[in-house]
Amino acid sequence: MHRVGGEYAITSDDIFMKETSPGKTCVIGAGYVALECAGFLTGLHQGEVTVLVRSTPLRSFDKDVVNYVQDYMMKKGTKIITGVQPKSITKLPSGRLLVAYGDDGVKEEFDTVLEAIGRTPDLSGLNLSALNGVVKINKTSGKIITTNEQTSVPHVYAIGDIVHGAPELTPVAILAGQLLAKRLFASSKETIEYHTIATAVFTPLELGTVGLSEIEAQEKYGASNVDCYVSSFTPLEWTIAEQYTDLSGFAKIVVHMDAEKPGVQRVVGMHIASPNAGEIIQGYGLAVKKGLTYKELVSMVGIHPTVGEEFTTMTITKSSGASIAKTGC
């Protein structure tokens, strides 16, 4: 993104190359990298960290679980300002950076400005216009539209971050490439299922997710056919530390109630904000991929006293309006 003074900002790669403390830092962005960097920089206690967010943090993730992550980060000291964009960055004689942001023209000095606003695919050097056919591009994302990695030109394929709708994750690109090679050269028919890929955001309070968010499920199946089991809980390791007394973790199970299968609630999404959320969601990701139902999930005996056990004991639905705060063990 071009802005006046943008050359004074650094990237998430640059932050690890600094030979001095980043000091008071302004992080521009709202995705994985922006919040992860803001989290560990806050933890270093080398200076206040402010995150400038254009709309909402982690926009593509389930809103309820994101709220818990944001609340945790703010209570731990990260300043998150939503609904603003930086207007300019000016280098002062002192060496500090003056950032103007928001419609009100707020100005604030920082030692470091880190931009983590995502990437756009650079297709200009591929000379796609020379092909005998048109490779369709999504106008919003600038990425290539594919069906099972095949573009609109049958003999041209795309994998990884350049594919519209594919998660920008290295393991995704690796598996997509492997499966494509097997289909092309080993008579395989196996394709990657992008909608059941588990992932995690390594913010100070980790976020783990697989499948559809509540909003995505409602858009796909209709609001009346979707419900959620939710729980707000205190991880065991937090109960003995005073610094966590006003904080809690959160878990959500999104279920689809299929009219053609009365009584069956298929799990279409699982989301959690907790310690070790990445490790937890990795295992449940396979279950969702294989068509897990809510009945199967709660019939499993959980391992006590783990955070992962929370998913096996959730009985309060969001639609009930009942308190989701867990009591006891």
Handedness of CA 272, 277, 279, 280 (dihedral sign): negative
Distance of CA 112 to the CA centre of its chain: 24
At a CB cut-off of 8 Å and minimum separation 6, what does 251 contact?
230, 231, 233, 270, 271, 272, 273, 274, 310, 311, 314
Catalytic option among 45, 155, 271, 304: 304
Cβ-count burial 3-21 (b if 16+ within 10 Å, e if not): eebeebbbebeebeeeeee
d(CA 79, CA 60) in angstroms, rounded, equals 21
Nearest to 32 by CA among 192, 199, 276: 199
DSSP string covering 230-249, please? EEEE--GGGTT-GGGTT--E
Told to judge if 304 belongs to the known catalytic residues of this protein, a careful annotator would answer yes
| CA-based nearest residue to 34, from 7, 63, 10, 8 | 10
What string of DSSP letters covers 107-153?
A: EEEESEEEE--------GGG-GGGSSS---B-TTT-PBP-BTTB-SS
Q: What is d(CA 94, CA 89) in angstroms, rounded to the nearest whole number?
A: 14
3-state secondary structure (DSSP) of residue 211:
strand
CA separation (Å) from 107 to 81, 88, 110, 306? 13, 9, 10, 46
Q: Are 172 and 184 in contact (CB under 8 A)?
A: no
306 — alpha (psi -120 to 50), left (phi > 0) or beta?
Answer: beta
Q: How many residues can be counted in the chain?
A: 329
Which sequence positions are flagged as catalytic? Answer: 304
